[in-house]
Amino acid sequence: MGAVIFKQPNGLYGRYSYVSDGFTAINMTKEEYKVLNIDNSLRDSDYTLKQYLGDYNKVIKDARETLHSWLKNSKEEDFDSSEEYEEFIKERNEELTVLESTISEMEKPYSNNIEKEYYKNVLELVENLTSYYDKNWKQKDYVIVHHPEDMKIMTEKIKDLNKTFKNLSKNNK
């Protein structure tokens, strides 16, 4: 386990890292914890896209080869009964059908601009929130230090973002 979130005696939350062997946050509300996770998620997803983006054709080839290999190399004598073997073959063939259908869907042009715009706007709101969070919260020795005036400003900003998000959600239903 890399870290643990715990409830403090004062009712707020803290985070302890077993990697750095120290507290990385204290006196967080649930909402602050969620914002912290959004920020971390955005950073993790950017890193993942940069470091682990696979080649589409290789992924498709590997997926097909795996299923075909199971079908080709499976022998009835490796199963407890012929019914079990037949069920296995049936399931792999169903998986192959789903795989080919999914590949076909991925290769069609995507044109749902309303949905794209919706997610773009949501992501922009989240990035604005986390940017605000980064600018207005001070960190000292890996412990988040709360400033009452920043809390008040951030609370208002979150309320504004929530209103905007709700309006976006209504408009895109």
Res 140: pLDDT: 41
Res 52: pLDDT: 82
The residue extents of the domains of the chain are: 3-52+110-171, 56-106
- Alpha-carbon separation of residue 25 from 4, 11, 150 (angstroms): 11, 14, 16
Q: CB under 8 Å to 128, separation ≥6 — which residues?
A: 161
Res 81: pLDDT: 94
Res 82: pLDDT: 93
Positions in the chain whose pLDDT score sits under 70: 1, 39, 111-116, 129-162, 164-165, 168-173
